[in-house]
A and B are shown apart, each in its own frame.
Chain A
Amino acid sequence: KQEVTQIPAALSVPEGENLVLNCSFTDSAIYNLQWFRQDPGKGLTSLLLIQSSQREQTSGRLNASLDKSSGRSTLYIAASQPGDSATYLCAVNGDSNYQLIWGAGTKLIIKP
């Protein structure tokens, strides 16, 4: 059974720092992996989707990598800003049932 883990559960860093959020999964048979952002009391915003055949995806200051063999994905945020403060969730789509399995998220606080 696929399990997705995000560590740490919370992270606080000063503005301007580059940072990495981690997502690990137990079954490497995935179809794709998505990173989302969630602001308090709001829905989810899709940030990046990486197909199983890809190694990374980039959007602006965000870069997501995928290493299927080790069951890991990272979300790199460059030059962090207070507006990046949110909870970041990763979700894995299985390649047999296409059901999204979710991590519990990392709550990120960027201090001005």
Chain B
Amino acid sequence: DGGITQSPKYLFRKEGQNVTLSCEQNLNHDAMYWYRQDPGQGLRLIYYSQIVNDFQKGDIAEGYSVSREKKESFPLTVTSAQKNPTAFYLCASSTRRGTEAFFGQGTRLTVV
């Protein structure tokens, strides 16, 4: 089945640690996105990529980093510079930017 897989489903981070969230898609989509969701707020864009080896910052990129070495994969690293990382993180992809977006099941990150 085609789709987007995010792992892990739950992740716990200690203060000062970097953690990496995985996102893999087998939809052959060129564009991929990372969003952060906090209770009562709309989704906010962290980073997006329109093509392999290229990515752009979204509205809240500070404290996050990404890579796009393969078309299928767009991992997100939450660095120690992100002061309030506890949130639900969603990865999405689309054929190209502006077309219908499809989402993974999310990763819930908690700082302990």
Contacts and interface: CB of A to CB of B under 8 A. Distances in A.
Interface of A: 4, 9, 31-32, 34, 36, 41-46, 49, 89, 91, 93, 98-105
A108 to B, nearest CB: 16
A89 B40 CA distance: 12
A100 B103 contact: no
A104 B102 CA distance: 18
A18 to B, nearest CB: 26
9 contacts: A41-B88, A46-B103, A91-B101, A98-B97, A99-B45, A100-B101, A101-B42, A102-B44, A104-B40
A42 B21 CA distance: 16
B106 interface: yes
A44 B90 contact: yes
Interface string B85-112: 0001010100001101111111010000
Contacts of A41: 88, 106, 108
Contacts of B60: none
B105 A43 contact: yes
B43 interface: yes
B8 to A, nearest CB: 14
B101 A102 contact: no
B25 interface: no
Contacts of A4: 42
Q: How large is the interface on B (under 10, 10 to 19, 20 to 34, 35 or more residues)?
A: 20 to 34
Contacts of B6: 43
B45 A100 contact: yes
A102 B104 contact: no
B106 A42 contact: yes
B34 to A, nearest CB: 12
Given A42-B106, A43-B90, A43-B105, A104 B41 contact: yes
Given A41-B108, A44-B90, A93-B98, A102 B43 contact: yes
A43 B4 CA distance: 10
A23 to B, nearest CB: 11
Contact of B103 (A31, A45, A102): A45
A81 B10 CA distance: 30
